Amino acid sequence: MCPATGLVQIIGRKYALRLLTVIGERQSMRFNDLKVAMDDISSSTLTIRLAELERAGLIERQTYSETPPRVEYSVTTEGSKLRQSLFALSKYASRKSEVSKFLAAE
């Protein structure tokens, strides 16, 4: 089995990459802030995706003993490395798309 298969299964799920991007852009975010930033995701799906990304080691959950309780999510070092790799892949895909459009126009 390809070593990337498990990772692709995780990041290929709906909202996973977007969550990684949104959290990474803001350093850390609270659940309700994520819910507002991603207004088309249900609370239950958000909870599931956050747990999956946390289990995969791509984000971490920090709980603060306050009243009311506060929980913040941030991207881990591994999550940051993945984001950098995905940026490179995105650039490649954009270049490939531009070349394909140019060739199709000929």
Residue 31 covered by a domain: yes
The string of pLDDT tens digits covering residues 27-77 is 899 999 999 999 899 999 999 999 999 999 999 999 998 888 889 999 999
Confirm if 30 and 45 have CB atoms less than 8 A apart.
no
In terms of C-beta density within 10 A (0-12 exposed, 13-18 middle, 19 or more buried), how is residue 60 classed?
middle
Residue 43 covered by a domain: yes
Residue 92 covered by a domain: no
pTM: 0.79
Residue 47 covered by a domain: yes
Q: What is the CATH number of the domain that holds 24?
A: 1.10.10.10
- For residue 59 the two structure tokens come to 């984000």
The string of pLDDT tens digits covering residues 7-20 is 788 888 899 989 99
Residue 33 covered by a domain: yes
Domain total in the chain:
1
The kind and range of the H/E element at 23 are helix 16-25
Residue 53 covered by a domain: yes
pLDDT at 39: 87
Residue 91 covered by a domain: no
Residue 48 covered by a domain: yes
How many C-beta neighbours within 10 Å does residue 103 have?
8
Q: Which domain holds residue 10?
A: 5-79
